[in-house]
Structure 1
Amino acid sequence: MPPAAPRPPLPPLLLLLLPVLLLATARPAAPPHRPTFTCGGVVSGESGFIGSEGFPGVYPPNSKCTWKITVPEGKVVVLSFRYLDLESDSLCRYDFVDIYNGHANGQRIGRFCGTVKPGALVSNSNKMLVQMTSDANTAGSGFIAKFSAADPHERGDQYCGGRLEKPSGSFQTPNWPERDYPAGVTCSWHIVAPKNQVIELKFEKFDVERDNYCRYDYVAVFNGGEINDAKRIGKYCGDSPPAPILSERNELLIQFLSDLSLTADGFIGHYKFRPKKLPTTTVPPTTTTVPATSIAKPTVALCQQKCKRSGTLESNYCSSNFVITGTVITTITRAGSLHATIAIINVYKEGNLAIQQAGKSMSAKILVVCKQCPLIRRGLNYIIMGQVEEDGRGKVFPNSFVMSFKAKNSKILNALKNKTC
């Protein structure tokens, strides 16, 4: 056998790459690691991720999952949604994610659904609770969010809110006063005074995106420590500072929300604690023109009246606490009365009516005292005039003015809106 021919020398570049190539063939590539998300859990640490069950697959129906997040003492929790895809509904009634301060009986920071991610959400302590609820029909991949610990006094431009317990202090929108507040931010300031004191609130500077009904960016102020439309003192936007506010008791909640479009300068507000004064006189309520006997639980006689609308838009406008146009989206019959939710088309006279908001959609709760009079049906549009209960719910009696809404009615209603009653 002839001797083997000598091998030609390897090229210099191949000599350099040879160790890498040998290592690559010797070790099989590890499969990419994907976190597995389960239904809820207890998580803690400086940072981490939570996600809906099965993410990025479709989340399961008829479930309620709760995550309890804890970061180190002295810090606050910052939650940032990286992805959100839940069944979309203007009122977030079906599938939604709720965010709460603390782990039990905490104030709700917000409720979210659809695909529009909120801004960074900040707790007022080192604990936060996240709860996702789905109904029988699911649609979407759910969510994934990152939590992290932050110093309550150095949280960066995107963060705001918290618990304020000093006898006086200030609060302001992110970036104030150097530049406009960012889009997609939610802030909640919870002011807590001693039990025997109340809180005085004043806005020094104020510039929030203007809208007739403050649907996009707004500041809402509530008596107590939770977002409750029945306890809402006011909802504000535009460039005029609200009048000074005095709380009923020792707690106030201030909520600021900006959507994902236009922004503005923002605001700075100041608060201080004051001794609670005992009331000296009792002023009778003047917000309703309905006789006191009619406000009691409806009697059979009331609901046996002949159901016939009387008067005109013009003649009923001033005698009504509220005047709205809207679509009936839910109806429930209870004890001979009809409880309805109205998706608002327009507000002409708000009075003390509690108007709820989810995204850019607004709604109100209406009680039709006698379910057949006036008769309203789901899915139809109406002009509704009525009175307002103490809890902010609209009340419609047989003699209240309700009629089908047509586009041609808008001209008359807009004229009435500018009328002095």
Structure 2
Amino acid sequence: MNYWTNSGPRNQIFNDTITIAKFVHFCGETMMKEFGELRLDGTGTVCQWRIIAAFGEFIVLNISTLDLPSPKHDCASERDNYLIIRDGHYTGSPILDKLCGGVISRTIFSTGNRLFIQAQTSYPLSSIFAHYIAVCGGHIFGDIGTIQSPRYPESYMPDEECKWLITVQEGYQVALTFQFFSVSFSYQLLVIKNDKINEN
């Protein structure tokens, strides 16, 4: 609330202006552990979570029952009581999914090592609605890309197994160029397979 008066002699007429702003309570946090849970705390109308995994990892987000009111129209046009998941770390990142009330469960995968999740609701909801885990590897689309071990240039963790699937347009081939490659022991290895993926 802002309050002000104009200056002047004591007996001069003065104007009062009171501005009352509607405060929006924010909740959420930045999460950098390998796994965790997302919770609505019952106090926030807008909650934002940023999940950051190590370089070379991607994020698997498992959403359980979403206790939001059912949308008045279709979920895509809903402006309140929704959950939106973006493939990145800010509000302008590409949208992976938008969910409204009635969702039983959903699993969402990031393409990189960051996710941005925003929940907006006018109801005081309190519940754990999702869990996430950072996983090594990922599915790579596009004409060009980079593959690196988790936490590079630091050492990868013992017993860590990473799998990447590279998909390009039909009729094209994939070429791999190694800029740096090093393994410590004979049982540590890199396997490259040329497999045809069965979508059924």
Question: TM-score range, shorter-chain basis?
Answer: 0.5 to 0.7
Cα offset, 1:256, TM superposition: 1.0
Distance 2:130 2:34 in 1: 14
Distance 1:266 1:241 in 2: 14
1:155-174 residue CA offsets vs partner (Å, 9 max, x unmatched): xxxxx311111111111111
Q: 1:240 to 1:283 in 2, by over 3 A?
A: farther
Using the size of structure 1 for normalisation, the TM-score is 0.28
Aligned to 1:192, which of 27, 37, 52? 52
Equivalent residue number for residue 164 of structure 1: 31
Aligned to 1:272, which of 125, 133, 150? 133
Equivalent residue number for residue 238 of structure 1: 101
1:292-337 residue CA offsets vs partner (Å, 9 max, x unmatched): xxxxxxxxxxxxxxxxxxxxxxxxxxxxxxxxxxxxxxxxxxxxxx
1:227 maps to a residue whose letter is: T
Matched residue of 2:165: which SS? coil
Q: 1:248 aligned to 2:111?
A: yes
Matched residue of 2:106: which SS? coil
Aligned length: 128
Q: Higher relative contact order by CA 8 Å / sep ≥ 6: 1 or 2?
A: 2
Matches of residues 13-412 of structure 1 in structure 2 within 5 Å? Answer: 55-57=2-4, 83-84=20-21, 116-118=22-24, 120-121=25-26, 160-174=27-41, 181-182=42-43, 185-211=45-71, 212-213=74-75, 214-228=78-92, 231-259=94-122, 262=123, 266-277=127-138, 278-283=164-169
Distance 1:241 1:266 in 2: 14
Structure 2 spans left out of the alignment, 5+ residues: 6-18, 139-163, 171-200
**Matched residues, percent identical?**
21
Q: Are the aligned partners of 1:223 and 1:231 in contact in 2 as well (CA < 8 Å)?
A: yes
Cα offset, 1:83, TM superposition: 3.6
Distance 2:127 2:100 in 1: 10
Cα offset, 1:243, TM superposition: 2.0
1:199 maps to a residue whose letter is: I
Distance 1:256 1:171 in 2: 10
1:29-83 residue CA offsets vs partner (Å, 9 max, x unmatched): xxxxxxxxxxxxxxxxxxxxxx7xxx3359xxxxxxxxxxxxxxxxxxxxxxx94
Q: Are the aligned partners of 1:193 and 1:250 in contact in 2 as well (CA < 8 Å)?
A: yes
Distance 1:164 1:216 in 2: 24
Matched residue of 2:132: which SS? strand
1:271 maps to a residue whose letter is: Y
Cα offset, 1:241, TM superposition: 3.3
1:345-374 residue CA offsets vs partner (Å, 9 max, x unmatched): xxxxxxxxxxxxxxxxxxxxxxxxxxxxxx
Distance 1:205 1:242 in 2: 6
Q: Are the aligned partners of 2:65 and 2:105 in contact in 1 as well (CA < 8 Å)?
A: no
Cα offset, 1:215, TM superposition: 2.2
Cα offset, 1:283, TM superposition: 4.5
Q: 1:187 to 1:265 in 2, by over 3 A?
A: closer
Matched residue of 1:206: which SS? coil
Distance 1:264 1:210 in 2: 14
Q: 1:263 to 1:239 in 2, by over 3 A?
A: farther
Distance 1:173 1:264 in 2: 6
Q: Are the aligned partners of 1:208 and 1:263 in contact in 2 as well (CA < 8 Å)?
A: no
Q: Are the aligned partners of 1:221 and 1:255 in contact in 2 as well (CA < 8 Å)?
A: yes
Two-structure CA RMSD over aligned residues (Å): 2.6
Matched residue of 1:205: which SS? coil
Using the size of structure 2 for normalisation, the TM-score is 0.56
Query: Structure 1 runs of 4+ off > 2 angstroms?
Result: 55-58, 212-215, 262-267, 277-281
Larger radius of gyration: 1
Distance 1:221 1:242 in 2: 14
Q: 1:56 to 1:239 in 2, by over 3 A?
A: same
Distance 2:128 2:56 in 1: 29
Structure 1 spans left out of the alignment, 5+ residues: 1-50, 59-81, 85-115, 122-159, 175-180, 285-421
1:215 maps to a residue whose letter is: R
Matched residue of 2:166: which SS? coil
Distance 2:106 2:100 in 1: 12
1:363-404 residue CA offsets vs partner (Å, 9 max, x unmatched): xxxxxxxxxxxxxxxxxxxxxxxxxxxxxxxxxxxxxxxxxx
1:56 maps to a residue whose letter is: Y
